[in-house]
Amino acid sequence: MKKHFLWLMLLGAIITVTSAQEANFDLAKKFTQSNVKKYLGSSRVNPNWIENSHLFWYNYKTADGNFYWFVNPVKRTKTPLFDNNDLAAKVTTITHKAYNVNDLPIKKIEFEKNSQSSFTFEMDELKFKYNMKTRLVSKIDTVKKETKDAWKSYSPDSTFIVFARQHNLYLMRANDADSVETQLTTDGERWFSYQSNGGDTTSDKRLKAWVSWFKDEKKFYTMRYDMRQVKEMAVINSVSDPRPKVETYKYAMPGDEHIGIPHLEIYDLAGENWVKPDLAKWKDQSIRAYRPSKTSDKLFAIRKKRTCDELEVVRINTNTGEVTPLFSEESKPYFNDQMNQLHVINEGEEFIWWSERTGWGQLYRYDANGNLKNQITKGNYVVGQIARIDTASNTIYYPAYGKEKGFDPYYNIYYRSSFDGTATHTITPEEANHHFSMPKTDKHANYFVNNYSRVDLAPKAVVRDKNGAVVMELETMDLTRVKELGWSFPEKFVVKAEDGVTDLHGVIWKPFDFDSTRQYPVISYVYPGPQTEAVVRDFTVTARYNTALAQLGFVVVSVGHRGGSPKRHKYYHTYGYDNLRDYALKDDMFALQQLANRYDYIDIKRVGIFGHSGGGFMSTAAMFAYPDFYKAAVSSAGNHDNNIYNKWWGETHHGVKEMKKKIKKTEEVKDSTKVEASDDEYEISFSSKIPTNPSIAKNLKGHLMLVHGEIDNNVHPANTMRVVKALMDARKRFDFMIIPNVRHGFSQYSPYFEKMIWYHFAEHLLGDYRNNVDLDLP
């Protein structure tokens, strides 16, 4: 019996050892961002358009060096902006220093006003001038250290400067050392301030003010928020010197009684007076202002209900403050803030408006009085943010999603249309994700630079004419060296949502030493939206953590889900309304199950999940809601309790209820008795209650690692602390890490955090428990 027992123990040990897999840390290290960048050059052409022309310059780095190019689309020429060797030699004669001619340390190239051949640049703490015709280099001055003049809000012609001090506004003439400061306001105070940092009371210095100048320089306006009754939040920096430091700030949460209330105020320089229009319509409304392009006699604004489902566009007379409603709209359950847009055409003679009134985001044209003239775009697709409006030819350039049948509906495909809705043309026809850049002046809006790529297509940059015809090919990214490193493209896929009919699009990353006879754990990289999904569309070698993570011995997956993106039908992107915790989970789980059915190499019994911010929230929710499916998670900076996250996020995407309580009015009559008045008044309040992760933490079965930045003033650390408490109360085992002196992003500790992700999944999905005490960091 004893021998039989020992034999069983030995067999168990053998099974345990053979079932564990070693993570390939060496291969993963090769494909971290810090290592891969040595094998890559530029991936995109960023054109610098020369003022009042169709000309532009750009710099582009390849394996041969970093070079600067000058492009003339009319002549179809691409020539060096300068010769690197020649420029370096001429600068050396001035500085007496040697330079790497393949990677010159050039900064701040700026063409001189009204010149297409002369520009200045900075190099080695000196400022130089270069003439492209004569190739002459001359020293102008030493580079002046940046002065702390961020407090200056210049007028369009740099005649005046507006700034704030002790919460009030001041005006002075620019470029005049003896300029008199004129105080414009006296009613500013802490938390109802004209300065950008409305809580700063410690300084008497000049500070930045939130002001916007009209182009004719006659007026400016400011939007200040009354935050006085908004409650405070606080974070603590434990490693500040010499003692821990407390930071407090105003922060409105869903359903709060008191939120920041906007106040729009307009200042007339000639009249030296303020105009304060009465924009009140709804309690706790939001306001967004829009200027005409040239004049200052009018201002336009959108005022929106706190319930996020009704708004109105108004015109404001900046001389009298008179407010004239133009048109209004309702959108249930809420307006799409990512796509919603108003464009003022020809000083307010017309407006272009984006609306989901048909369920698909489209463009509409209104006249000066708010009457609908025509629908500009039509169809079962979504129009994105307008990229360019040419008022000279009444032409709009814009991206749209899902218009081209068979294309990934998330790709930016660009089109041009006339204001009247005719003459619509596709101007970037390739099945890829496109980017668009065109000169600002209508006179030169005949060409644009188009960068495009996919996760499985190397980036390419071309110049097209306004009809979309390619007139010049600029660059195609060279992937030779990274492919020599062993890299290959990830794979795209399409599966169904849990409803069985909605297409979900995603990407798979596999180990580069992939063995089709093996089974690999699968890890889902997630972000719930609703403003964007985690799935990358542009080309990327590393995909942040995904490529390297796959090399450990995982299949890494990123897939969209209903409720994730505003680039699809209104039903799709509002799917999570009133269900802000759970809406994305079933689709993620069903997508992974479908992939496991499709590919034998996926082991659906070993599933991990990770994400940051909303992804941290989603990955933790997945571990709690489906504890038998998800076995391990790394959740960083998660908004696990959206009731203590910011008001806009929770009230927009989950919902807020407006409650009215009737107030009885009374009036005095002659016989001294009181009777009820005829007009009703209501006391309005708001309520929002969002389901949380802590409430279901007791369901945890797998291995969860929670991470948060200590001074995160976006998603407060209390979000994670509440999960920690709930897990401890439920007697659950988990990993927890606070990163000192870090806000919402982990960039300064990204390599350390990335290795922690590796070790967590290696241990709990591969069974690799090697003692990695010291993290091998770059």
Q: What was the pLDDT predicted at 14?
A: 43
Contact 152, 163 (CB under 8 A): yes
- Cα separation, 32 vs 221, whole angstroms: 47
Q: How many CA atoms lie within 13 A of 28 on its CB side?
A: 26
- Cα separation, 482 vs 609, whole angstroms: 27
Q: What was the pLDDT predicted at 6?
A: 47
Where the chain has pLDDT below 50, the residues are 1-2, 5-8, 10-18, 677
Contact 384, 400 (CB under 8 A): yes
Q: What was the pLDDT predicted at 10?
A: 47
Q: What percent of the chain has pLDDT over 70?
A: 94
Residue 696, SS3 per DSSP: helix
- Cα separation, 275 vs 226, whole angstroms: 18
CATH architecture of 490-641+690-766: 3-Layer(aba) Sandwich (3.40)
**pLDDT tens digits along 395-410:** 999 999 999 999 999 9
Q: Which two tokens stand for residue 675?
A: 């009777």
Contact 313, 300 (CB under 8 A): yes
Task: DSSP letter for 234, please.
Answer: E
**pLDDT tens digits along 679-734:** 567 889 999 999 999 999 999 999 999 999 999 999 999 999 999 999 999 999 99
What string of DSSP letters covers 29-83? HHTSHHHHGGG--------EEPTTSS-EEEEEEETTEEEEEEEETTTTEEEESS-
Task: DSSP letter for 145, please.
Answer: P
CB atoms within 10 A of CB 688: 18
Q: What was the pLDDT predicted at 666?
A: 56
Give me the chain's average pLDDT, please.
93
Residue at token pair 């810090």: 34
What sign for the dihedral angle of Cα 5, 9, 11, 15?
Answer: positive
Q: What was the pLDDT predicted at 57?
A: 98
What string of DSSP letters covers 571-594? HHHTTTTT-TTTTTHHHHHHHHHH
CB atoms within 10 A of CB 302: 21
Q: Indicate the domain borders of the chain.
A: 48-142, 490-641+690-766
- Mark out the alpha helices in 562-672 (DSSP H runs): 570-573, 585-598, 614-625, 647-653
Q: Are strands 232-237 and 168-173 parallel, antiparallel or unpaired?
A: unpaired
Task: DSSP letter for 72, please.
Answer: E
Contact 617, 704 (CB under 8 A): no
Contact 757, 634 (CB under 8 A): yes
- Cα separation, 34 vs 458, whole angstroms: 20
Q: Is 224 exposed, middle or buried (0-12, 13-18, 19+ CB in 10 A)?
A: buried
Of 477, 481, 486, 478, whose CA–CA distance to 28 is shortest? 486
Length of the chain measured in residues: 778
CB atoms within 10 A of CB 115: 12
Q: Which two tokens stand for residue 45?
A: 């052409």
Angle among Cα 753, 249, 705 to the nearest 5 degrees reads: 25
Give the distance, in angstroms, between the CA of residue 408 and the centroid of all CA atoms in the same chain: 21
Kindly give the interhelix angle for 585-598 and 614-625, rounded to the nearest 10 degrees: 70
